Amino acid sequence: MTAFDPVPWLPVPSHPPEAYQPLKAEPAFDPSRDLQLTKPERSWTLLDLGYTEDDVAKTGCPIAFTTPFRILSEEGAARLEEVVKLLREQTQGGGFERAQSNSRLVYVAGGVYRSKFLRDLCNSVDVAAFLSEVAQIPLVPHSLPSQQIYINYPPTHLDEDIDRWHADSIGFDYVMLATDPTSFEGGEFEVFLGTVSEAAEILGVNAAEINLRVNRELPSNRTFQFSFPAAGFAVFQQGFRVVHRGRRLSKPGDRITVVPGYVAQDPYTAEVNDLENISTYPEPAIEAELVRHAAWRSGQKLHRLLDPDRPQDSISQRAALEEALTDALEALRLIDSASKKPL
C-alpha cells in the first residue's frame, strides 16, 4: 500500500476568474453518501504496453490503466448527472468545441470553478488516497485548477467520434461515466496496447502531435475496449502515456463523462504535464495557474534546501538550487512566449 500524505497540495483559488459562471443551485457533495470506492479487478502496467523501466522511473507509477471500477454510489452518480446537465444548460454557447466537430457543445473545462459539487469531488482526500493506492504513487488533485476536471458531452451527429485517438496533456486522470449506459449504444472507451511513439508511427504523426486527436485508425488487434457497467464507474490511466479514445455512438444517446486530473505529490518526479500545449488553452487565467503550478513545485524543492541536516556541499547545493528553479523559469518562458504570439 502506498503511504499518502494529503499535504501539501494546491487549493482552488478563493477568487475564480470572472469568466466562469458558478451554478446558482446544485446538490451538495457528501463523501459519506456519494462515494463507493471499489478497487479495479485488473490493471495493465507500462511494461505491458512496451515502455521501459526508465520510463516507469520518471514518475514512479507503474500502472498504465485499469478496468472500470466504482467511485460514486448510485446516489452520488445521480447527483453528478444532475450537475453536468445543469452545466450543459448554463454553458451552451460558452463552452468549447473540438476541431472538425459540428456539435454545438462538446466539452466544458474549469468545472471546479463552475460547480462546488465538482470542486469537492475533485479535492476529496478520500478519492486522492484511494487513487494513490490504485496508481501505486501518491497523487493529489491537479495543481492547475482548470485541469482538475473536464466534462465531455456526446456529439449530436452519429458520424462524429466522441473523441479521436489521442494522449492527454496531463499526467494522471480517471474517466468516469456520468450517465446511465442503457441510455445509449456504442461509445466504448478504447485504449491502444502500445506506447505513444508506436501509435504515432502507425498514425503517421510525430509523437508530440498525438494529443491533437488523429482521425485515423489503429489496428483492432492492438486495442482493448471497455464498457462502463453503470454511472459512477471509472477507468484510471496515465493519460499522457496511454493512447485512447471514445468510440462513436451507434444510436443517439446522452453519453457524458467527466475526467478529473491529478499530479504526483512528489515535486521531484518528472514534469509530465504538457505545459507547452496547456499554455495555449483558452482558459481564463491559464497563465496565473501556470505560475501557481510552478511556484508549488519549485517552492517545495526550495523549502527542502533549508533543511538544517542537509549536507553543506557547495556543488550539490548549487545543483539542487538550479533544479528547484527549473519549474519557475519554464513557467516564465511559457508566459513570455504566449505574450509574443499575435492575437
Task: Give the pLDDT confidence score for residue 310 in this predicted structure.
Answer: 83
Task: Give the pLDDT confidence score for residue 340 in this predicted structure.
Answer: 65
pLDDT digits (tens, 9 = 90+) for 4-31: 443 468 899 988 898 898 999 999 999 9
Task: Give the pLDDT confidence score for residue 159 in this predicted structure.
Answer: 79
Residue 144 resides in a domain? yes
CATH of the domain at 48: 2.60.120.620
Task: Give the pLDDT confidence score for residue 311 in this predicted structure.
Answer: 84
* Helix 286-304 vs helix 314-339: crossing angle, to nearest 10: 180
Task: Give the pLDDT confidence score for residue 342 in this predicted structure.
Answer: 56
Cell numbers found for residue 75: 446516489
Q: How many domains is the chain built from?
A: 2
Query: Same structural domain for residues 246 and 314?
Result: no
Query: Same structural domain for residues 319 and 193?
Result: no
DSSP 315-343: HHHHHHHHHHHHHHHHHHHHHHHHHTS--
φ/ψ of 192, rounded to 5, equals: -90, 130
In which residue ranges of the chain is pLDDT below 70? 1-8, 92-105, 212-213, 340-343
Q: Are 291 and 331 in contact (CB under 8 A)?
A: yes
**Closest C-alpha to 269, from 241, 242, 243, 300:** 300
Query: Same structural domain for residues 109 and 240?
Result: yes
C-alpha 50/C-alpha 68 separation (Å) is 22
Query: Same structural domain for residues 326 and 224?
Result: no
Cα 315 to chain centroid distance, Å, stands at: 37
Domain span at residue 338?
274-343
Query: Same structural domain for residues 251 and 221?
Result: yes
Task: Give the pLDDT confidence score for residue 1 in this predicted structure.
Answer: 39
